[in-house]
Amino acid sequence: MIEGQTWVIKHVQLKNNMKVVQVKEYNRIELIKYSKRCDEWVENGGYNSRQFFPQQAFYGFYTRQGKFRGKGYVAFTEQRAVWRRTKKEAIKEFLKKI
């Protein structure tokens, strides 16, 4: 058990604002962020804005075949995310690199 653990609907929020969710939920959250970034890019002038188009590869976790991962858990904050097969492994790996 990790100190400071609180249960929230569909995900666990831990110390340092770290959250743990299933990878499908994380990918859904990230696609919403990606869509907003694309809309912002278009509003700022698109190709004429001299900004790079947002890269989808930076949003979510994918398999080697380029499809979204369907199994596992993600421990994440706004700055970084760690994917592992179990919730315990994801938390342990995330905390190891703090």
Closest CA to 34 of 54, 50, 49: 54
> What are the pLDDT digits (tens) for 29-78?
999 999 999 999 999 888 888 888 888 888 999 999 999 999 999 999 98
Contact status, residue 8 vs residue 20, Cβ threshold 8 Å:
no
- Rounded Cα–Cα distance for residues 41 and 31 (Å): 15
What does the block give as tokens for 57?
Answer: 């590869």
Q: How far is CA 92 from CA 9, 11, 42, 49, in A?
A: 21, 16, 39, 41
Report yes or no on whether pTM surpasses 0.85: no
SS3 at position 32: helix
